[in-house]
């Protein structure tokens, strides 16, 4: 009989991480590798994927880098097929790929709005579909990366981004209802609060610091704190957890 800490191990599992060319995507890929998983990484920027692959392999895990655009269902199917071909199976999906805008609603173009929805929402669904078809023999775990902005606002005009992240909550609940009992696939979502990322680099200077009054913890999150929550949801430690939104926000949603 294994101990409770053993249930957090991802040894022997294969995880796909989308949006793994920079920022939190790199942290997810390397963190899951440290927990024992072999990793398939996906993003549109091929040259940056190679840097992530090298980091995962330096940890001692296998890693395949597969260029792809998650807003294209055919690319999603290809990423999953190539993962199974090279690593043997798929146990975990981290639906991390995402973009955001901060444009006033009266000036945001239809194309900009559609782009955010296509990547953040449609891409998460298409990747989940592809993995849902491939996960067998005991199911798997899908972790959608949402945001606290799916549940609140944060003083920037972000209608497209907030809409996409609110929709992730509904997507997560519905897929959990469909797949947990029938296919053994647990589907959960993380709602990060204020973390430094490639997207937040586009925000006005000092914006993140100006928002700390809303965070009971009094600081920005560290990538390792978000990764630890993802490892929990991906592992057998969360075997009775499905359909939930787990905020990792220093208490922001309590204010």
Please indicate, yes or no, if residue 252 is contained in any of the structural domains: no
**Helix, strand, coil content of the chain in percent (nearest 5):** 50, 15, 35
Please indicate, yes or no, if residue 253 is contained in any of the structural domains: no
Please indicate, yes or no, if residue 250 is contained in any of the structural domains: no
Please indicate, yes or no, if residue 136 is contained in any of the structural domains: yes
pLDDT (tens place) for every residue of the chain, 255 residues total: 578 999 999 999 999 999 999 999 999 999 999 999 999 999 988 889 999 999 999 999 999 999 999 999 999 999 999 999 999 999 999 999 999 888 899 999 999 999 999 999 999 999 999 999 999 877 999 999 999 999 999 889 999 999 999 999 999 999 999 999 999 999 999 999 999 877 777 777 888 899 999 999 999 999 999 999 999 999 999 999 999 999 999 999 998
Instruction: Give the total number of structural domains in the chain.
Output: 1
Please give the positions annotated as active site: 161
- Identify the bridge partners of residue 248 per DSSP, sorted by sequence position: 192
Please indicate, yes or no, if residue 208 is contained in any of the structural domains: yes
How far does CA 78 lie from the centroid of its chain? 19
Please indicate, yes or no, if residue 254 is contained in any of the structural domains: no
Domain that holds residue 178: 4-241
pTM: 0.96
Please indicate, yes or no, if residue 179 is contained in any of the structural domains: yes
Whichever domain contains 140, its CATH number is 3.40.50.720
- Identify the bridge partners of residue 190 per DSSP, sorted by sequence position: 145, 246
Please indicate, yes or no, if residue 251 is contained in any of the structural domains: no
């Amino acid at each position: 009989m294994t101990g409770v800490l053993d249930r957090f191990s991802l040894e022997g599992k294969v995880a796909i991480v989308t949006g793994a060319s920079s920022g939190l995507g790199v942290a997810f890929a390397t963190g899951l590798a440290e927990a024992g998983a072999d990793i398939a990484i996906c993003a549109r920027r091929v040259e940056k994927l190679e840097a992530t692959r090298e980091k995962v392999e330096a940890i001692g895990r296998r890693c395949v880098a597969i260029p792809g655009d998650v807003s294209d269902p055919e690319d999603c199917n290809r990423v999953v097929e190539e993962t199974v071909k090279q690593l043997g199976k798929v146990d975990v999906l981290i639906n991390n790929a995402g973009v955001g805008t901060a444009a006033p609603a009266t000036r945001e173009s239809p194309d900009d709005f559609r782009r955010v929805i296509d990547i953040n929402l449609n891409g998460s669904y298409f990747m989940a579909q592809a993995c849902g078809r491939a996960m067998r023999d005991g199911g798997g775990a899908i972790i959608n990366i949402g945001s606290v902005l799916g549940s609140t606002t944060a003083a920037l005009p972000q209608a497209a981004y907030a809409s996409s992240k609110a929709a992730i909550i509904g997507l997560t609940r519905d897929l959990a209802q469909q797949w947990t009992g029938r296919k053994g696939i647990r589907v959960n979502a993380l709602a990060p609060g204020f973390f430094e990322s490639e997207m937040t680099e586009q925000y006005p200077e000092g914006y993140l610091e100006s928002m700390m009054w809303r965070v009971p913890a009094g600081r920005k999150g560290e990538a390792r704190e978000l990764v630890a929550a993802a490892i929990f949801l991906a592992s057998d430690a969360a075997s009775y957890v499905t359909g939930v939104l787990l905020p990792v926000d220093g208490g922001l949603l309590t204010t």
